[in-house]
Chain A
Amino acid sequence: MPAELDLAPLWLSLQLASVTTALLLLFATPLAWWLANTRARGRAFIEALVALPLVLPPTVLGFYLLLVLGPHGALGAPWLQLTDTTLTFTFTGLVIASLLYSLPFVVQPLQNAFESLDRKPLEAAWCLRASPLDSFFSVVLPQAMRGYLTAAVLGFTHTLGEFGVVLMVGGNIPGETRVISIAIYDHVETLDYASAHWLAGLLLVFTFVVLLGVYTLNRQVRVRVL
């Protein structure tokens, strides 16, 4: 390992991925539940919207985010007024961008998990005096654990590998927005291949170990991932 290798981008990436995954699991749960249960006409529209980051070039998503989060943007302007800081080129801005970027990777496994659940035990729970919220936590959640594991792993690893969107809205500010993928790009640009090797290798090994862990678990308790 080169003596001057800066591991800060790795920690920043892990931090970003953790915060994003945690927030996404929280927000995506009601959204996925709604999508799995609604018969409303708007459902297809919302589903398409959620899936958009799957296929959209990250630079396109990043470009629009830059506009929205910028000091004159719909989100950026009020944020500037409230906090006296900008959203672009900050960690907070990156979190917001990552939430959108990784949304489908969390919503879809959850929605699949909810849709594949047998509805009868849920009705049984209602008939046993459990409120809808109560029955969600006591009956749905424990049975959708596989879906949650898939969602968390996909959301986390996908955020970890984020590059295009970060480049557009976060730039390359050490300790703030300089995540691992940006750092690797940077090292390659300056022909510092040794550092690039170390960071890329670390990311490769880490991601592989996570997936290996999930697939091993998958075998043992038949958790379905991917």
Chain B
Amino acid sequence: MTRLIAQCDLKRPDFRLHARLDIHTQGITAIFGRSGSGKTTLLRCLAGLERNAAGLISVNGSVWQESSKGIFIPVHQRAVGMVFQQPCLFPHMTVRANLNYGLIRTPLAERHMPWDQVIEILGIGALLERYPQHLSLGEQQRVSIGRAVLSNPCLLLMDEPLASLDAQRKDEILPFIKRLNRDMNIPVMYVSHSVEEIVQLADTLVLVHEGEAIVTGPIHEIFSRLGMEEYFGEVAGAVIDAQVIAHEAEFDLTCLEFYGRRLYVPRHPLNIGDAVRVHILSRNVGLSLAPPQVPTSVLNIIEAYVVEIGATVLGKPAVEVKLDAGCPMLATITRKSLHALALSPGQRVYASIKAASLQS
């Protein structure tokens, strides 16, 4: 567990960063926000690339910056790894030399990353003697991730590392980032404006809006928080960590389990017992007061309790209902339905989720 305290202030003619963070990072922390919200600038402040930023940055008690005392540790003396949107490999060096660039500049006592394992996880063993210009963009980005990891950082910063890649390459790299984080145990700060990436990767979420970190917390909790439409749009709902328990090959479905509840999703290539993350949109969740007595086409009927009912906004027919389904979940229903069901906190309901609407 790494404790990160950051108070970053930076003024530009058209923009102001005023971020306050105090988080225990373990796993992947996503810094999420619209473009122009200041996420990248915040990350650059952490790295020390914004010389004009004022504030305080401390990682596990070691102070990287404390402007009030005139302390500013230069970038190269911070044990920080950075992966940029573009791979930024050194064109005059082979892949191997690129990978070793940070490593050979790391003091011997701090070199604990297993070289072979990092190369194996990233699948770049066959590229070592080649030059960057002969690599695909996806391969280059994998090398640049390896290069940052091998410099043995105590914090790995990633600035939209997948933004320049097409969808197929993204899917190719996402699992690497997950595995790296899990197997190498480096805390990652991951900047992105892509909901899919964040849902797949993040454990903790920092929501940045107009230069301020307005919300910080576990992704499950923030995605199912009431009144966040402004920031998440239609993607709020639930992020559920489930386990694969069966495949129904004849229907092309996979059965998952979470908190004693079952969920059918379109067939997933994972093995039984594997962990999987599911993102449920609140508008795909319907509510009823009793389990359906007649057959229904909806496969997933999940028992839940009403926790809180969102604010009614005049002119908007829909209202959000926060549920406890073992994990927090959000349902968007019409105000008319809310009235008809007469929902109140503590009430038991049955949430129906169409399997076909789920992606995992």
- B49 close to A129 (CB less than 8 A): no
Report chain A residues within 8 Å CB of B75: 123, 126-127
Known: A142-B92, A143-B91. A125 touches B86 (CB 8 A): no
User: Is B90 within 8 A of A131, CB to CB?
Assistant: no
Task: Give 1 or 0 for each of A109-140: 1 = CB within 8 Å of chain B CB.
Answer: 00000000010110111111111101100110
Count, A-B residue pairs, CB within 8 A:
66
How far is B80's CA from A134's CA once the two chains are assembled, in angstroms? 17
Contact B76 A131 (CB under 8 A): yes
Of the candidates B74, B81, B88, the one whose C-beta lies within 8 Å of that of A121 is B88
Question: Do A128 and B101 touch (CB < 8 A)?
Answer: yes
Which B-chain residue is minimally distant from A119 (CB atoms)? B88
Chain A residues with CB below 8 A from B147, complex form: 128
- Find out whether the CB atom of B105 lies under 8 angstroms from the CB atom of A127: no
Given contacts A120-B84, A124-B84, A125-B101, contact A130 B89 (CB under 8 A): no
Q: Does B106 contact A (CB under 8 A)?
A: yes
B240 interface hit (Cβ, 8 Å): no
With A120-B84, A134-B105 known as contacts, the answer to whether A127 contacts B92 (CB < 8 A) is no
C-alpha spacing A134/B81, complex, angstroms: 17
User: Which residue of A has the minimal Cβ distance to B85?
Assistant: A120
A124 to chain B: closest residue by CB: B88
Contacts of A118 in B (CB 8 A): 88
A130 to B84 CA separation, bound complex (whole angstroms): 17
Inter-chain CA distance A120–B80, complex, in Å, is: 16
Bound form: Cα–Cα A134–B76 in Å: 10
Q: Of B49, B74, B89, which contacts A123 at CB under 8 A?
A: B49
Q: Does B82 contact A (CB under 8 A)?
A: yes
Is B148 a contact partner of A128 (Cβ separation < 8 A)?
Answer: yes
Complex formed: what's the CA distance from A124 to B92 in Å? 14
Q: How far is the CA of A90 from the CA of B82 in the complex (A)?
A: 55
Residues of B within 8 A of A142 (CB): 92
Contact A120 to B101, CB < 8 A, known contacts A128-B148, A142-B92, A143-B92: no
Which A-chain residue is minimally distant from B144 (CB atoms)?
A124
Query: Interface residues of A toward B: which range?
Result: 10 to 19
Interface residues of B in 89-105 (CB under 8 A from A): 89-92, 101-102, 105
Quick check: A139 and B82 within 8 Å, CB to CB?
A: no
Instruction: For B157, give the chain A residue with the smallest CB separation.
Output: A127
A143 and B92 CA atoms in complex are apart in Å by: 7
Residues of chain B with a CB closer than 8 A to A121's CB: 88-91
State how many angstroms separate the Cβ of B96 from the closest Cβ of chain A.
14
Q: Does B47 contact A (CB under 8 A)?
A: yes
Give the most central of B101, B147, B148: most A CB within 10 Å. Answer: B101
In the complex, what distance in Å separates the CA atom of A132 from the CA atom of B51?
14
Closest-CB distance, B266 to chain A (whole angstroms):
40
Q: Return the chain A residue nearest B49 by Cβ.
A: A123
Closest approach, in angstroms, between the C-beta of B308 and any C-beta of chain A? 43
Residues of chain A lying within 8 A (CB to CB) of residue B148: 127-128
Report chain A residues within 8 Å CB of B74: 126, 131-132
Q: Report whether A127 and B47 are in contact in the complex, using a CB–CB cutoff of 8 Å.
A: yes
Give A126 to B50 CA distance when docked, in angstroms. Answer: 12
| Pairwise interchain contact B102-A128, C-beta atoms closer than 8 A | yes
Would you call B151 an interface residue if the criterion is a C-beta within 8 Å of the partner chain's C-beta atoms?
yes
A127→B81 contact, CB < 8 A: yes
Please state if A127 and B101 are interface contacts (CB–CB under 8 Å).
no
Kindly state the separation between the CA atoms of A152 and B147 in the bound complex, as whole angstroms.
34
Residue of A with least CB distance to B80: A127
Within the complex, the shortest CB–CB distance from A118 to chain B, in Å, comes to: 8
Contact between chains at B105 and A120 (CB < 8 Å): no
Rounded to whole angstroms, the CA-CA distance of A128 and B153 in the bound complex is 9
Tell me which residues across on chain A come within 8 A of B48, comparing CB atoms: 126
Write out the residue numbers on chain A whose beta carbons fall within 8 Å of the beta carbon of B91: 121, 143
A129-B76 contact, Cβ under 8 Å, with A120-B88, A143-B92? yes
Residue of B nearest to A131 (CB): B76
Q: Which residues in B have their C-beta under 8 angstroms from that of A126? A: 48-49, 74-76
- Expressed in whole angstroms, the Cα–Cα distance for A123 and B49 within the complex equals 8
A142 to B131 CA separation, bound complex (whole angstroms): 14
Chain A interface (Cβ < 8 Å from any Cβ of B): 118, 120-121, 123-132, 134-135, 138-139, 142-143
Q: List 30 A-B contacts (CB under 8 A).
A: A118-B88, A120-B84, A121-B88, A123-B75, A123-B82, A123-B84, A123-B88, A124-B84, A124-B90, A124-B144, A125-B90, A125-B101, A126-B75, A127-B47, A127-B49, A127-B148, A127-B151, A128-B101, A128-B147, A128-B148, A129-B102, A129-B106, A129-B151, A130-B101, A130-B105, A131-B74, A132-B74, A132-B76, A134-B105, A143-B92
